[in-house]
Amino acid sequence: MALSYWEKDYYGQIDFAILGCGIVGLATAIHLKKAEPNANVVVIDRSWPPHGASTKNAGFVCFGSPTEIMDDIQTNGPEIAMNIFEKRWLGRETLFSMVDTTNLDYEQIGGLELFEKLDLPEEHEIQYLNQLIYNKIGVNDYFEYVDNTDFPNFNNKAILASKEGRINPMKLILALKSQADQLGVKFLIKEVIAIDRTNKGLVFDQDTSLPYGKLLVTLNAFATRYLPEMQDLKAARNVVLVTSPLKNFNLNHVVHIDKGYIYMRMIGNRILLGGARNKFLNTEFTDEIKVNPEIINYLKAFLKDKFSSNENFEIEASWSGILGVGSNKNPIIEKVDHCTYVGVRMGGMGVAIGALVGRQLATLAIQN
């Protein structure tokens, strides 16, 4: 449906169009407007709340569990793995310099990794990780062994990263949106069906397109639909469930299991449990936002078996969201043609890293 005269007049001549209203898109808009207050900045998304991952995630403010980082080191080497770790660390700093976390249910309660009985990393491996982390961010003894007396189906030792925490992702997005509103960022809720890069226009249907000066694409994995050069970017679906309230179960930390592929936290007295996409590789590399019932059954069984809860519970909610992944976990922040920029591939830690990506993307688009 074509935009009216009034609507076109409101959007005016767009200096920076940001496609995607997740954490990266909003952070980008805020940084652009702060750096260039007179610029006309418009964020476009197909829906509100945004329909990607930023309001569907588990709300871990995390940097990587020991086995996840060890896996990254094995795949990409220590330098790349540690650079990514540092970006997450700096990303949290950037995010917390932008929002007041007291209203976002933020709690730095620590991240705990639980292990199968025989899988506990050896002390020299944790010392090695701690040394690498110290060299990068100057924090001593980042990981520490602690006793696990609560969950007897796991190793009686666990590893704690006390700097991790949890947040309410919806409140975080609302806080960023409200800041963008105050700065004068404009919003358009409409699905883009194509990007006309030759004529510099976002196409909504055959009658409607929106011209832009510079385009910043923050669609995460959905970018592959519109930018064919995004070869090292893949959509991966992640499923989450929330149980009914439980009387006799608690987690004092956010919990990682199996290289971060499984994650758990409390929301009040409910459990949020998600992940396990590594067990369903044939079906989960997709950007279709749908819940695979097999994964829900897997997660339900996992909860019953591993946490031996005698308490009955219902699954009160389940949903899915889409991650952007690739051959490594470094976000892609690039200029892809004379006026198109991308900030994508947040992996499973966009909450920590997203604000930094937004800042770097805004700077790139302003300077180039």
Ligand X SMILES: Cc1cc2nc3c(=O)[nH]c(=O)nc-3n(C[C@H](O)[C@H](O)[C@H](O)COP(=O)(O)OP(=O)(O)OC[C@H]3O[C@@H](n4cnc5c(N)ncnc54)[C@H](O)[C@@H]3O)c2cc1C
Residues that bind ligand X (CB under 6 A): 20-25, 44-47, 50-54, 56-60, 62, 191-192, 218-220, 222, 238, 240, 274, 321-323, 346, 348-352, 354
Nearest-approach distance from CB 228 to ligand X, in angstroms? 15
Amino acid sitting at position 301: A
The stretches of 228-349 forming alpha helices (DSSP H) are: 281-284, 293-307
Phi, psi of 273 (to 5 degrees): -130, 135
How far apart (Å, rounded) are the C-alpha atoms in residues 289 and 240?
12
Distance CA 55, CA 45 (A): 13
Q: Where are the beta strands (DSSP E) in the chain?
A: 14-19, 41-45, 60-61, 111-114, 143-147, 157-161, 165-166, 186-189, 194-196, 201-205, 208-217, 234-243, 254-257, 262-267, 270-275, 315-325, 332-337, 340-344
The β-bridge relationship of strands 340-344 and 14-19 is: unpaired
At position 109, the amino acid (one-letter code) is I
Q: Minimum distance between the CB of residue 7 and ligand X, rounded to whole angstroms?
A: 17
- Looking at beta carbons only, is 93 or 125 nearer to ligand X? 93
Q: Report in angstroms how near the CB of residue 218 gets to ligand X at its nearest.
A: 5
Shortest gap between Cβ of 61 and ligand X (angstroms)? 7
Q: Which lies closer to ligand X via its Cβ, residue 17 or residue 70?
A: 17
Shortest Å, Cβ 23 to ligand X = 5
Q: What are phi and psi of 202, to 5 degrees?
A: -90, 125
Cβ(216)–Cβ(227) below 8 Å: no
Q: Find where tokens 């991240």 sit.
A: 111
Q: Which lies closer to ligand X via its Cβ, residue 111 or residue 121?
A: 111
CA 266-267-272 angle, to 5 degrees, is: 60
Pairing relationship of beta strands 186-189 and 111-114 according to DSSP bridges = unpaired
Indicate the residue among 110 and 321 with the shorter CB distance to ligand X. Answer: 321
The smaller minimum CB distance to ligand X, of residues 121 and 347, is found at 347
Shortest Cβ 113–ligand X spacing (Å): 14
Residue 123 Cβ vs ligand X, minimum distance, rounded to whole Å: 28
CB of 240 to ligand X, least distance (A): 4
